[in-house]
């Protein structure tokens, strides 16, 4: 009952006129970012984060989260009309969305995609509403050892569940730890890896890194690819929306499966992209006519869009309750909380109720606003896609430079941003994931502090991480996640090469 009252209070915070205005601006910016291939939710939030420095933290997080919801909606437009996924998680939407557009059913496909996204996000928001307070109250029992164990679990989960090779994930994460260690040691006051540069005394700012890695890196790669857009046109009428909604009722099982997959992949560090592919694969496997998938099947649009939005939204659950981001975008939002002086974690629910419940209430409102915006403005966004990227790219680069400069009013930060941009470009070329680097940069110093406090409490005994069932269970699960790729290799070795070949033949 208290949670319901808090939610109502959150609506009173989120529904003020300024917050609703920033919510609309965030949605529009997010859709714009979503329809432009080469950007994306995490990139857009990172680039536009400096705009919120002067805002109240609640207003700032509402605007940033709305940019994210808007980007999730916008990715479907390019996938369906142009066969170009605006976001990685929209790739699966192209499989059936674009064939529907080619058959003259673009309006139906877009309506199905937007509605599925809305349903997935609202379900995940309900999960956050009722599960987050319970998890936060439980997490209040955590000491330094438990907090380090949770952070270790996050790092190990990224290694064990990453789509990329574990070695590449480890390389990115170790580089992030090294960057997080630069500057003054908070516990001893000693300087680490500054090499006489006074600009490095404060260490590498998280915001500079993400603007360069996500913003500049993506733009460089997109400019290299030289994108050109050709696609279908669409105009959504109320009659088409109503007819599509009636059809969608027949796919309620696909909705339920996709929501479950999306929420699970969002809470764990799986993310929206694997959730969308997994949901598409399950929907195809469970369909009565799986051979229709890939030719314009409505369920092929419903499944990935529902799962992607459910995953993107539920990734905020571990971020708010434990201070652990479940996705790259959540990691950027986590950095925003730190910049605003807020400490993510269980205390957030007791010390900053307005902030937490205002954010949760805004998720409901933002998805309603987002659904209305995208259903009514599709032709406008499709027209923007016909503007040459050579014109859009310089505008984005200048925005990144201004954002980096405003952090400390220093040109050194702009040079750092460009350096991180080149690093992000190289990472993408050699397929090294950037999310582990960002995660280590955000959480590295906190994990180090909790580990050192645990060592002080136990007088140097590592057994503190097995001192009770809770911390021992989390630590054990973390080690299992870390060793998961080796267990997978061992299982395949035990089955033998013949069994693997047979399995591949069945898959084909």
Longest Cα–Cα distance of the chain, Å, equals: 70
- In 88-140, alpha helices (H): 91-102, 106-139
Residue located via tokens 């170009």: 84
Residue 61, domain member (yes or no): yes
Residue-wise pLDDT tens digits, 189-231 = 888 888 888 888 888 877 788 778 877 877 787 777 665 555 5
Q: What is the pLDDT of residue 40?
A: 64
In DSSP notation, 164-195 reads: S-HHHHHHHHHHHHHHHH-EE-TTT--EES-T
* 502 domain residue, yes or no: no
Asked if residue 499 is part of any domain, the answer here is no
Q: Is residue 504 part of a domain?
A: no
Give the chain's domain count. Answer: 1
In the prediction, which pLDDT does 485 show?
79
d(CA 220, CA 396): 11
424: left (phi over 0), alpha (psi -120 to 50) or beta: alpha
In DSSP terms, 184 is beta-bridged to 191
Residue 356 covered by a domain: yes
Q: Look up the domain containing 400 and give its range.
A: 1-490
Any domain includes 153: yes
The residue-averaged pLDDT of 478-507 equals 69
Pair of tokens at residue 258: 């996709």
The Cα-based distances of 384 to 31, 35, 37, 213 in angstroms read 11, 9, 12, 25
Give the pLDDT confidence of 147-172 residue by residue, as tens digits. 888 778 778 877 776 667 888 888 98
Q: Is residue 500 part of a domain?
A: no
Long-range contacts of 222-226 (CB under 8 A, 24+ apart): 222/37, 222/38, 222/389, 222/393, 223/389, 223/390, 223/393, 225/38, 226/389
Residue 227, C-beta contacts closer than 8 angstroms, at least 6 positions apart: 37, 38, 84, 389
pLDDT of residue 424 exceeding 60, the answer is yes
Asked whether residue 366 is domain-assigned, the answer is yes
69-115 confidence digits (pLDDT tens)? 888 787 777 778 776 665 666 777 878 888 888 788 888 888 888 89
Mean pLDDT, all residues of the chain: 79
The percent of residues above 70 in pLDDT, for the chain, comes to 87
Two structure tokens written together for 23: 């919510």
Q: Say if residues 112 and 369 touch (Cβ distance below 8 Å).
A: no
Chain segment 172-199, per-residue pLDDT in tens: 889 989 988 888 887 788 888 888 888 8
Residue 205: closest CA among 46, 20, 422, 95: 46
pLDDT band at 502 (very low <50, low <70, confident <90, very high): low
pLDDT of 378 strictly over 80: no
Tokens describing residue 137: 């109250």
Mean pLDDT for the stretch of residues 494-503? 60
pLDDT at 241 over 70: yes
């Amino acid at each position: 009952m208290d949670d319901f009252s808090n939610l109502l209070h959150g609506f009173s915070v989120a529904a003020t006129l300024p917050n609703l205005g920033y919510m609309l601006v965030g949605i529009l910016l997010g859709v714009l970012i979503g329809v432009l291939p080469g950007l994306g939710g995490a990139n857009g939030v990172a680039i536009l984060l400096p705009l919120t420095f002067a805002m109240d933290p609640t207003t700032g997080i509402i605007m940033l989260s709305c940019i994210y919801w808007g980007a999730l909606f916008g990715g479907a437009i390019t996938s369906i009309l142009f066969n170009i996924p605006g976001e990685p998680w929209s790739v699966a939407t192209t499989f059936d969305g674009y064939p529907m557009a080619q058959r003259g059913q673009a309006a139906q496909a877009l309506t199905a995609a937007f509605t599925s996204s809305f349903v997935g996000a609202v379900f995940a928001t309900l999960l956050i509403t009722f599960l987050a307070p319970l998890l936060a109250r439980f997490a209040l029992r955590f000491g330094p050892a438990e907090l380090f164990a949770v952070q270790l679990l996050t790092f190990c989960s990224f290694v064990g569940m990453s789509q990329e090779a574990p070695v590449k994930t480890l390389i990115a994460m170790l580089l992030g730890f090294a960057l997080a260690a630069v500057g003054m040691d908070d516990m001893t006051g000693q300087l680490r890896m500054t090499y006489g540069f006074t600009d490095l005394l404060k260490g590498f700012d998280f915001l500079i890194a993400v603007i360069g890695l996500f913003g500049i890196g993506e733009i460089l790669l997109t400019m290299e690819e030289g994108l050109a857009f050709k696609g279908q046109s669409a105009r959504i009428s109320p009659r088409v929306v109503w007819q599509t909604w009636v059809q969608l009722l027949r796919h309620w099982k696909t909705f339920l499966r996709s929501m479950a997959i999306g929420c699970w992949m969002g809470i764990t560090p799986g993310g929206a992209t694997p959730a969308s592919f997994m949901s598409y694969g399950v929907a195809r496997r469970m369909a009565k006519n799986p051979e229709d998938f890939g030719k314009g099947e409505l369920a092929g649009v419903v499944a990935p869009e529902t799962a992607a939005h459910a995953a993107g939204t539920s990734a905020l659950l571990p971020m708010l309750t434990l201070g652990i981001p479940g996705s790259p975008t959540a990691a950027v939002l986590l950095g925003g909380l730190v910049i605003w002086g807020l400490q993510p974690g269980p205390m957030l629910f007791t010390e900053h109720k307005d902030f937490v419940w205002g954010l949760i209430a805004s998720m409901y409102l933002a998805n309603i606003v987002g659904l209305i915006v995208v259903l009514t403005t599709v032709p406008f966004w499709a027209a923007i896609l016909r503007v040459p990227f050579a014109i859009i790219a310089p505008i984005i680069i200048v925005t990144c430079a201004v954002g980096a400069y405003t952090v400390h009013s220093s040109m050194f930060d702009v040079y750092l941003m460009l350096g991180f941009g080149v690093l992000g470009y190289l990472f993408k070329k050699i397929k090294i994931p950037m999310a582990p680097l960002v995660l280590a940069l955000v959480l590295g110093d906190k994990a180090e502090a909790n580990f050192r406090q645990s060592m002080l409490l136990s007088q140097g005994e590592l057994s503190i991480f097995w001192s009770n069932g809770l911390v021992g269970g989390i630590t054990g699960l973390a080690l299992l996640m870390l060793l998961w790729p080796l267990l997978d290799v061992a299982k395949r070795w035990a089955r033998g090469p013949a069994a693997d070949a047979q399995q591949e033949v069945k898959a084909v």
